């Protein structure tokens, strides 16, 4: 029992509470210590049971989840995973919850996302969240383990450069830090962040309001140009392609890769093939190994590769696996990554052999 992660479920719907309790209790290594219908009951149960992780609804009676999350992170900080509907209001509030310190956001069950899907995703997040470092809030298809390589079409050398960024748990705030640190003169940027369908547009809009460069949810055929960052839409893969001398974004369907769609491996493998030594790859905080194989491909293709360091990661999973695989050239604190991108763009940061 000591190795189990204890979790408290907070949701105003008795049906959702019962369903999550039943399904999460079946997950290995997880013990549900109780459920609460609102934040006031949750506060007392947190003090009584001292759970390792809390799952939290957003819209609840007496106090909304965002207000409770802010109070919790101020007075009793602990790992919180938001379980939210995909309503338009819910999407905006979910982004605010991530900024307030939530580890991650999972959509509630709906017609195409069953309670089993939710519980499976939650189970992985809960086990990872129990090991996550708390941070101060900022002012269907079968999985494949790797992407099948395609022949390179990268130019030997070009003045057009591109940076590819990949992140998961904790990545919303990490991406904010990096992108806020970049001017409009930065290289074109492609981003894959593990987020549910419906949240990425709101996240991109939020970043666009904070950053000097343009940030938008990627659409198929978008140009990858300096001063623009394109974010993979939820449940779609993002790839780099070329139309003549121009880089363009491809937004595609396809099976999950490394258990994810969008997958960092899919993005990195496409960048290795299309841009080669004219690219830079950055892998940041997150659970699992998505991006490790793709980053190695990028490094082997001559790209500059950077992995976020353990001290600044919320979860040191993806960068650790990429480093172990030999794909990481530079290990960097989060606050230095924007500087590395600019140094690369100026030709001051060069690739080294693995």
Let me know if 168 is a catalytic residue. Answer: yes
* CA-based torsion, 297, 325, 328, 146: positive or negative: positive
Let me know if 160 is a catalytic residue. Answer: no
The rounded Cα 223 to chain-centroid distance in angstroms is 23
> What phi and psi, each to the nearest 5 degrees, are found at residue 287?
-85, 155
**Spatial distance between the Cα atoms of 227 and 112, rounded to a whole number of angstroms:** 36
CA distances from 20 to 65, 142, 152, 201 (A): 17, 24, 46, 27
Q: Which residue among the candidates 38, 194, 202, 260 is catalytic per the annotation?
A: 194
Let me know if 202 is a catalytic residue. Answer: no
Q: Which residue among the candidates 290, 309, 312, 340 is catalytic per the annotation?
A: 290
Residue appearing with tokens 């080294």: 352
Q: Which residue among the candidates 168, 258, 263, 332 is catalytic per the annotation?
A: 168
Contact in structure between 6 and 102 (CB atoms under 8 Å): no
**Closest of 232, 228, 338, 225 to residue 284, by C-alpha:** 338
How many of the other CB atoms lie within 10 Å of CB of 38? 18
Report, as residue numbers or ranges, the catalytic residues. Answer: 168, 194, 290
């Amino acid at each position: 029992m000591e190795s189990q992660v204890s979790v408290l479920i907070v949701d105003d719907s008795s049906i959702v509470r019962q369903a999550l309790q039943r399904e999460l209790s079946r997950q290995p290594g997880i013990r549900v210590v109780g459920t609460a219908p609102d934040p006031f009951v949750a506060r007392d149960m947190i003090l009584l049971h001292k759970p390792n992780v809390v799952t939290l609804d957003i819209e609840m009676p007496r106090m909304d989840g965002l207000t409770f999350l802010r109070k919790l992170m101020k007075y009793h900080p602990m790992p919180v995973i938001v379980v939210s509907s995909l309503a338009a209001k819910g999407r905006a509030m979910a982004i605010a919850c991530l900024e307030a310190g939530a580890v991650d956001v999972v959509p509630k069950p709906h017609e195409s996302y069953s309670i089993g899907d939710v519980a499976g995703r939650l189970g992985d997040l809960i086990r990872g969240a129990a090991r996550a470092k708390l941070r101060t809030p900022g002012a269907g298809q079968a999985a494949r383990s790797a992407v099948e390589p395609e022949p390179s079409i990268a130019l030997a050398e070009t003045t057009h450069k591109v940076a590819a960024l990949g992140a998961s748990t904790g990545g919303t705030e990490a991406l904010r830090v990096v992108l806020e640190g970049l001017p409009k003169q930065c290289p074109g940027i492609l981003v894959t962040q593990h987020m549910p369908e419906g949240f990425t547009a709101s996240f991109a809009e939020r970043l666009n309001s904070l950053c000097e460069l343009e940030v938008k949810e990627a659409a198929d055929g978008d140009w990858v140009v300096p001063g623009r960052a394109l974010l993979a839409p939820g449940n779609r893969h993002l790839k780099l392609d070329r139309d003549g001398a121009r880089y363009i974004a491809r937004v595609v369907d396809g099976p999950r890769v490394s258990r994810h769609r969008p997958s960092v491996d899919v993005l990195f493998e496409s960048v290795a093939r299309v841009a080669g030594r004219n690219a830079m790859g950055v892998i940041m905080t997150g659970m699992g190994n998505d991006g490790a194989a793709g980053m190695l491909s990028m490094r082997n293709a001559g790209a500059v590769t950077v992995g976020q360091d353990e001290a600044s990661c919320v979860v040191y999973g993806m960068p650790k696996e990429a480093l172990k695989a030999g794909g990481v050239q530079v290990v960097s604190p989060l606050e230095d990554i924007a500087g590395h991108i600019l140094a690369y763009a100026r030709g001051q940061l060069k690739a080294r052999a693995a």
